Every structure is written in structure tokens, then in C-alpha cells.
Amino acid sequence: MSLHWLSQFWGPVHHEDLKGRQWHNGDERLLTGIVKCSRCNNHMFGGGGYKNGVHVPYYVCSKRYNDQDCEQDYVRADLLESAVIEDIKAKFRDEQFMARVWAEANKRLCAEKPNLEKEIAKVEAEAAKAQTALDRYFEAFEAGTLQAELCNQKVRDLRARLEELEAEKRELEARRDRLDLPAIDRDMLASLVENLERVMAEAPNPQKKDLLRRLVKRVLVHDRRTIEVWYGLPNSRGIEDWNNWLPKSNKGYRCAENIHPGD
């Protein structure tokens, strides 16, 4: 589930300032892969140009760059990335806002659980049926009413089906477990912001990108002044991973069902 709101930022360089600049797409920009152009719905990639001898990183619409068939602005990469990161930090520091978001997220996630429980029960019933059939074939073979060759084939087929059902059940249970959000509290929000700041300041680029992709699901560029961002809530596994990057703490988190707006 993702939520979105509008963020504003200003790019100081106008389109005509970039005329004749040389672009390259080798830069590993933090939002590459999730930032798109709202005008043509194509991805925007990281590039850069030189202005007054200084390298300036940008995001550029791939359709504009490849086909010259889009009028999307060039967007300063450093300003866009900083705007998104600061917006994330501001949201996590707003305890009342996050409590409302957490409560709504938990409500929607919990609504998915009954369907998953039904699917798990259906898989379990089918597995029990297959196991019963397997037991009958063994009994028939031991009683001498089923030939060994036919018994072996039936057993192989049923065991293969049982393995498929067990794998399907594990996947469904994992999906169910991922629906649980840790309870929100002040220490948790502070740790999220602290970790975000530390990773952005100290971590190598791949780790920065990994962390941002857990929080930012989509960035839609309308022009250099307006972007639209869809943010995703980290699940319990994500919180555990983040905490591994923080100083060890003995504090645990309550069950997500206790989240209420204004807590």
C-alpha cells in the first residue's frame, strides 16, 4: 500500500541554460527506476552536464533524450533527491500524522487477512486430501492389490503435488506475516529518522538506494516545480533490517493492532 501527497521544489536552472550540454546516463542516481515523467509516462534517468565548468546532475525524460518527443523539464537531481528525503523526515517526525497513516495502513492490511486465511485453509485441505490418497496407495500396495510400478508412479505424482502445496502454503503464510506493522511510538519514529540520516550521510550508494526504495514507491515529475510522490510504509521485516543498522536496543515494539490515531 502506498500513500501520496504533493511536494514542491524549485529548479534554479532553466531549460535554455542546458542547450548544447553533453549528457551521460552512467550516474547511479538514487531515484533511478522509480522516477517517471507525467507528460509521457516514460522513465527519467540520471545524467549530468557542465555549467561554468561545474558538473551538475539531472534527471532527464528518456523519451525527450532519445526521441526529442517530450517537453518535460530537466530536473536537478540533487534538489529532487534532497526534497524527497527531507519530506520523508518531516513526515516521520509528525507523530500525529504518522499515527493516522499507521492506523489506516493497518486497517487496510488487516482487511486482507481473511482472504489469505481462506486461501491457506484451502491449500491445507487439498494437501490433506493428497496425503489421504497417498496413504491409500501404500495400503493397497501392502495388501497386494496394487502393482509396484503403478504404485510408484502414483506416489511420485502425489509427493510432487504435496511439495507444490507446501510451497504455496509457505508463500501465503509469508504474505500474511508481512501484513503486520509494528506499533508506532516516538522512539520508533526517531530511530527511523536517525537511520535515514545516517545511511544518507555515510552508506555507499547501493544501500542508500535500497533504503529509499523501501520508502518511496513512485516519483512522478510534472515539471521542475512540482513532483508527486507515493510513499510506502515499511513492514516489520524492513524495521528489523533498519534496526540492524542502528545501535543495539533492548526496546521491543507492540503488536500493530494497538495503533490508533492520536496515540
Residue 210 lies in a domain: yes
Per-residue confidence band for 19, with pLDDT thresholds at 50, 70 and 90: very low
* Residue in the structure block whose three cell numbers are 497513516: 101
Q: Based on the domain organization, do 68 and 135 belong to the same domain?
A: no
Q: Which of 157, 177, 197 is the C-terminal boundary of a domain?
A: 177
Residue 255 lies in a domain: no
Q: Based on the domain organization, do 117 and 243 belong to the same domain?
A: no
Q: What is the pLDDT of residues 83-107, one digit of tens each?
A: 899 988 888 888 888 788 778 777 8
pLDDT of residue 231: 83
Q: Based on the domain organization, do 23 and 101 belong to the same domain?
A: yes
Higher pLDDT, 96 or 63: 63
Q: Based on the domain organization, do 30 and 106 belong to the same domain?
A: yes
Residue 146 lies in a domain: yes
Residues 41 and 57: their CA atoms lie apart, in Å, by 21
Q: Based on the domain organization, do 131 and 26 belong to the same domain?
A: no
Confidence check: pLDDT of 114 > 80: yes
Round the average pLDDT of the chain to a whole number and report it: 75
Q: What is the pLDDT of residues 133-147, one digit of tens each?
A: 888 878 887 787 777
Per-residue confidence band for 110, with pLDDT thresholds at 50, 70 and 90: confident
pLDDT of residue 126: 93
Residue 135 lies in a domain: yes
Confidence check: pLDDT of 18 > 60: no
Lowest-pLDDT choice from 5-19, 108-122, 206-220? 5-19
Residue 159 lies in a domain: yes
Please give the model's pTM, rounded to 2 decimal places. 0.56
Number of folded domains that form the chain? 2
Q: Based on the domain organization, do 229 and 127 belong to the same domain?
A: no
Per-residue confidence band for 262, with pLDDT thresholds at 50, 70 and 90: very low
Residue 33 lies in a domain: yes
Q: Based on the domain organization, do 75 and 121 belong to the same domain?
A: no
Q: Based on the domain organization, do 211 and 97 belong to the same domain?
A: yes
Question: How far is residue 59 from each of residues 27, 41, 145, 211, measured CA to CA in Å?
Answer: 10, 14, 73, 20
Lowest-pLDDT choice from 51-55, 118-122, 182-186, 198-202? 182-186
Per-residue confidence band for 234, with pLDDT thresholds at 50, 70 and 90: low
Confidence check: pLDDT of 17 > 50: no
Q: What is the pLDDT of residues 123-176, one digit of tens each?
A: 999 999 999 988 887 888 778 777 777 778 888 888 899 999 999 999 999 888
Residue 262 lies in a domain: no
pLDDT of residue 240: 45
Q: Based on the domain organization, do 15 and 35 belong to the same domain?
A: yes
pLDDT of residue 167: 94
Residue 3 lies in a domain: yes
Q: Based on the domain organization, do 150 and 44 belong to the same domain?
A: no
Q: What is the DSSP string of the chain?
A: -EEEEEEE---SS-GGGGTT----S----TTTTTEEETTT--BEEEEEEEETTEEEEEEEEHHHHHHS---PPPEEHHHHHHHHHHHHHHHHH-HHHHHHHHHHHHHHHHHHHHHHHHHHHHHHHHHHHHHHHHHHHHHHHHHT-S-HHHHHHHHHHHHHHHHHHHHHHHHHHHHHHTTPPPPP-HHHHHHHHHHHHHHHHHS-HHHHHHHHHHHEEEEEEEETTEEEEEEE---HHHHHHHHHTS---------GGG--TT-
Confidence check: pLDDT of 2 > 80: no
pLDDT of residue 148: 76
Higher pLDDT, 14 or 94: 94
Q: Based on the domain organization, do 187 and 231 belong to the same domain?
A: yes
pLDDT of residue 111: 81
Q: Based on the domain organization, do 14 and 72 belong to the same domain?
A: yes
Lowest-pLDDT choice from 18-22, 64-68, 92-96, 221-225? 18-22
Where in the sequence is the domain holding 126, given as residue range(s)?
A: 112-177
Residues 24 and 12: their CA atoms lie apart, in Å, by 21
